[in-house]
Amino acid sequence: MTLFPGTKDAVTTTDGDTPDLAPLPVEGPVANPGAGGYRRRNYGVYLALFLFVVLAVCACIPSLLAPFDPTHQSLNDTLLSPGSRGTVTGLHLLGTDELGRDVFSRLIYGVRPLALVVLGSLALSGAFGLAYGMIAAFAPAWVGRVMMRIADIQLAIPSFVLAILLAYLIQPGVKSSVLAIAVVTWPVYARVVQADAGKLKRADYVLAARVSGLSWRQVIWHHITKNVASVFVVILTFYISVAVIIESSLSFLGYGIRPPRPDWGNMLAGGVTYINYWWLAVFPGVAVTLVILASNTLGEFARQKLDPRSSIDLGASSIHLYRRRPNRPPGASAGPSPVKAADGTTAAVLENVSISTDTGRPIVADVSVELRSGVVTAIVGESGSGKSTICLALLGLLPANLKLTEGRITVAGHRIDGAQSSELRRVRGRHLGVVFQDPLASLDPVRRIASQLGEPRVIHKLDSRKKARAWSLEKVQDLGFHDPKAVLAMHPHQLSGGMRQRVCIGIAVAAEPVVLVADEPTTALDVSVRGKVLRSLESYRVRTSAAMLLVTHEIAIVRAIADRVIVLYGGSVLEEGARASVLAAPRSPYTRALMDASVEFDPTLRGASLPTIAETVADDAAPDAAAAGCPFAPRCPRALPICTRRFPERAAVPGNDGAVWCWNPLEYGDE
Amino acid sequence: MTVAIGAEAAGSRGGRFETIRQTGWWSVAVAVLRRVPWVVVTVWGVSTIVFFLARIAGNPVSLLVPPEATPEQVKVTTHNLGLDASTWEQYRRFLAHAVRGDFGDSFTYQQSALGLVWDRVGATFELALSAILISILLAVPLGLVAAFRPRSIAARVGSAFATLCQSIPVFWLAPMLVLLFAVKVHIFPSSGKAGLSSWVLPAVSLALFQTGLYFRVVRATGIDFLMHDASRLVRSKGASHTRLALQHLMPNICAPLLTVIGLDLARLLGGSVIVETVFAWPGIGQLLIQAAQSHDYPVIQALVVVFAAGVVIVNMGVEAIREAIDPRSRSQA
């Protein structure tokens, strides 16, 4: 069969420099949603900055922009509408007020008190809050607690109420406003600083710095100050708008800047008195709103730049795969489909399935899998090989950025590809049960086990809600819990990892599906509970002779329960066949390498160096998306020139009902 | 023997789990009781702040007597108010009276300050509650749509609306609503509290800011939930979008939403000062402005304490309810 003879030893050559079997980027939520275009250029920030520059000019040299003296009264020209011309004065762009003063000029002169109050109060409260928060974070614990409690007490007083109180006690004006805003906002800064510094104090890298001999003073300076500073700047930027609101509110109520000195708040108060002359209330309001909008925009920008931890990256898909083979005419080189038409024993079928991202990069290429009743089919491969994507495709739950481009998927006689969502819902849970990798993340954190376990039976109308509860009790017993009633009353976080995963299995089989998909069911679990979880899966299959698809990267698990094995690499099937023969005599060099690299407990390994998959090209020899050949070729020790050019044809492996896709497969002499 | 199967004999942890806590209303009651001392401490702290602020700011007598008062009058007033005693003695008396709910008599209304505040609390409470309800009714459906379809037009419109909501100051919004719906078009009355139509403008003015806030919370927590495995499992059960939204997403959103409602309450009550002033709404916000204008010091003191107590008590209730809804917050407590 093979074109070129070779030895299996060639694959396992150990190279001290090469990393082990996980050198490739890992799929998962950490990955950046490669497909660009989610993040738009933020022109709002430029507009906001421009507005602040204009405001700065207005505050510094108002006479430059204002056409009139803001306090000059002209009783012949009272309440002129915007754009009218006064009898003596000239054009009033935004009209005049009840005393004939120019609204536009008053708006411009109103910037200075606003700016003074906002900057003054931010500086005062920011400095005090920062110092207070830092002291609270690094003082003895009880001192810190008392300090924060004091800050909390003050936060309980609504800020306007406190500000009015202060302005009432002191003569209203710039000073009272600065003081009032500073007094009502400092606890917020103190809280934020204390929380952040406290968190950093316990962060691993700060502890590491401590262990390496730096004094607290050095640690605070080098590690904590910088981090706290960014959070502090973010919150300070956001509080520009809060300060603006309080300042104008105080003036509006008569407790801030008082007439005749122009201020947006007191102009608005006058506008309310003369509500029929709309321009008096509209323009100052628009001005305040614009400033608030601009400071919020700036705050949002500062947060994205300086404190990315707190911003939610919208649109990021939780599943990301990174490397694909280019478009290969489907079926052309992969040969005829190995899957027969669905007969009585076929529970689910994927035929020549190709999946790619919305940007056109293939993730799964021409994969065919047949799941038969009572048979455990294992898909093995490393992270990013497309295993989980295949599971999601079976469910019809591909993330929004992935598309099924070719092939058919059928589950229990229902077409999945192209199906209406209502039809998909009838299949999911009822004909196809699935167990995901992380049981803690999978279970709804706020619902009790009782309502989650039997839910598929309620959804698919197998049971009433009451009957489903009775069923759940029985099921929990089946799953081997000692105190079924207590378990049903619990929330997921109260269970251990293994218990959660058994609950998930109970959910997957609740509506007695004919296909059970388990996507790395034991990866997130302690080694000690894996057996129990696998046995729960097995027992369902044995009882109902359902078809099972087991996705894993652990050869040990495959050896334990699989009947058939499919080896996936870079989105393509490289080998398939009966478990015994594939594991005993792998034909694909990749299968061989995968098996050698997975460390199983074996006393003879003591003292031996552990094999890895050789990197023959480069450290990050991920399958090249532009290459047309076998995805494993760049790392394959048996690669031939043709391997990088064309994907190999399917080659049947005699006597094992299997096949290999390789130009230069391993051969075993005894066949 | 393989690792996976071999290890199972080594023992499972199946029988051991965390202690199960009692849940339900009993736990809410316990949570409330545990916080009562904190409420007491806060109200005491607030009264102390108010008391000493007044003393730091200067002799209140100068604010309480007319500017043209003779030294005799000043002396009499000082004595009547007990201000000739030492500061600590005054503080002791203040506390002793405050414990009994006695903040002195109002200068302008000639009745007990607390009683006066008490008569007005209801109107403010009703207004705040209706504003919160309006916000929830607007923000939750909009936020859910934005979470389910983050890139749809509805989501973008919702986000823009939320940004606008949070940028329009209430002291401008309220007069604008009056201008549009009471002056230009006579749909709603411009002030007072009489009949259902008089509620609309004040409640909407007060509701707008936190509508944007709640929208953001619902959208962010919704997206967070939908992006993670829990929603995938629910969908793999064959659940419809409706079921996912109502049975799983909503319970997960409630806890953070409640927290934000509680934290925002102080700001909301501050906003009610302005709304009540603009609409002549007979609540404690309007009373505060009136009392400040007439230098009615006992009323101001009583008001601040009542405001603070309201904030702390509602927050206590919110935290207790959140613990009942979200079991995770309980184990952290």
Summarised one tens digit per residue, pLDDT across range B215-249 is 989 998 888 888 877 888 888 888 888 888 888 88
Which chain B residue is nearest to residue A28, measuring alpha carbons?
B228
User: CB–CB of A445 and B172 under 8 A?
Assistant: no
Q: Collect all residues of chain B within an 8 Å Cβ-Cβ radius of residue A456.
A: 237-238
Which chain B residue is nearest to residue A561, measuring alpha carbons?
B5
The contacts of residue A358 (CB under 8 Å, 6+ apart) are A35, A400, A401, A402, A403
Is the whole-model pTM more than 0.90? no
User: CB–CB of B167 and A292 under 8 A?
Assistant: yes
Task: Please give the pLDDT value at position A609.
Answer: 61
| Phi-psi category of residue B58: left, alpha or beta, with phi > 0 → left and psi -120 to 50 → alpha | left
Q: Collect all residues of chain A within an 8 Å Cβ-Cβ radius of residue B300.
A: 165, 168
HEC profile of B113-163: HHHHHHHHHHHHHHHHHHHHHHHHHHHHHHHHHHHHCCCCHHHHHHHHHHH
The closest CB to that of B4, out of A168, A480, A534, belongs to: A534
**CA A124 – CA A181 distance, rounded (Å):** 9
**CA A32 – CA A357 distance, rounded (Å):** 14
Comparing CA positions, the residue from A588, A585, A548 lying closest to residue A569 is A588
The contacts of residue B279 (CB under 8 Å, 6+ apart) are B174, B178, B190, B191, B192, B198, B201, B202, B205
Comparing CA positions, the residue from A232, A233, A209 lying closest to residue A221 is A209
Q: State the virtual CA torsion across A284, A285, A288, A291 in degrees, nearest 10.
A: -100
SS3 content of chain A, % helix, strand, coil (to 5): 50, 10, 40
- Checking A475-482 for CB contacts under 8 A at 24+ apart, the result is A475/A506, A475/A510, A476/A449, A476/A503, A476/A506, A478/A506, A479/A503, A479/A505, A479/A506, A479/A536, A480/A532, A480/A536, A480/B14, A481/B14, A482/B14, A482/B15
Question: What confidence tier does B204 reach under pLDDT thresholds 50, 70, 90?
Answer: very high
Task: Please give the pLDDT value at position B202.
Answer: 93
User: CB–CB of A441 and B228 under 8 A?
Assistant: yes
Q: Collect all residues of chain A within an 8 Å Cβ-Cβ radius of residue B2.
A: 556-557, 559-560, 600-601
C-beta of residue B59 within 8 angstroms of C-beta of residue B87:
no
The closest CB to that of B169, out of A249, A456, A504, belongs to: A249
Q: Collect all residues of chain B within an 8 Å Cβ-Cβ radius of residue A278.
A: 179
Most A CBs within 10 A among B1, B237, B299, hence the mutation to make, goes to: B237
Q: Say which amino acid occupies A538.
A: E
Going from the first residue of chain A to its last (671 residues), give the mean pLDDT of each consecutive group of 10, the final group possibly shorter: 36 33 31 38 82 90 82 78 74 80 88 93 94 89 88 81 74 85 89 85 76 74 76 86 90 84 88 84 91 88 70 32 34 35 66 85 86 90 83 86 86 84 86 87 85 88 87 86 86 86 90 90 81 86 88 85 89 88 86 77 56 51 57 83 84 79 76 41
| pLDDT surpasses 50 at B20 | no
Q: 3-class DSSP state for residue A99?
A: coil
Q: What percent of chain B has pLDDT over 70?
A: 86
Summarised one tens digit per residue, pLDDT across range B33-67 is 888 888 888 888 888 887 777 666 556 666 667 77
C-beta of residue B250 within 8 angstroms of C-beta of residue B244:
no
User: CB–CB of A316 and B227 under 8 A?
Assistant: yes
Which chain A residue is nearest to residue B313, measuring alpha carbons?
A156
Which chain B residue is nearest to residue A511, measuring alpha carbons?
B237
Give the distance from residue B254's alpha carbon to the nearest chain A alpha carbon, in angstroms: 10
Q: Between B25-57 and B297-325, two packed helices, what is the crossing angle to 10 degrees?
A: 150
Task: Please give the pLDDT value at position B214.
Answer: 92
B212, burial (CB in 10 Å: exposed 0-12, middle 13-18, buried 19+): buried
Summarised one tens digit per residue, pLDDT across range B150-166 is 888 888 888 889 888 98
CA A584 to chain centre: 41
- Taking the CB of residue A602, how many other CB atoms lie within 10 A of it? 8
User: CB–CB of B12 and A529 under 8 A?
Assistant: yes
User: CB–CB of B183 and A507 under 8 A?
Assistant: no
| pLDDT surpasses 50 at B81 | yes
Which chain B residue is nearest to residue A482, measuring alpha carbons?
B15
Comparing CA positions, the residue from A63, A58, A69, A64 lying closest to residue A101 is A69
User: CB–CB of A165 and B304 under 8 A?
Assistant: yes
User: CB–CB of A161 and B57 under 8 A?
Assistant: no
Strand (E) or helix (H) holding A45: helix A43-60
Q: What is chain A's alpha carbon radius of gyration, rounded to the nearest angstrom?
A: 35
Q: What tokens appear for A415 in the block?
A: 């077409």
Q: Say which amino acid occupies A298.
A: L
Q: 3-class DSSP state for residue A511?
A: coil
| Phi-psi category of residue A480: left, alpha or beta, with phi > 0 → left and psi -120 to 50 → alpha | left
Q: Collect all residues of chain B within an 8 Å Cβ-Cβ radius of residue A191.
A: none
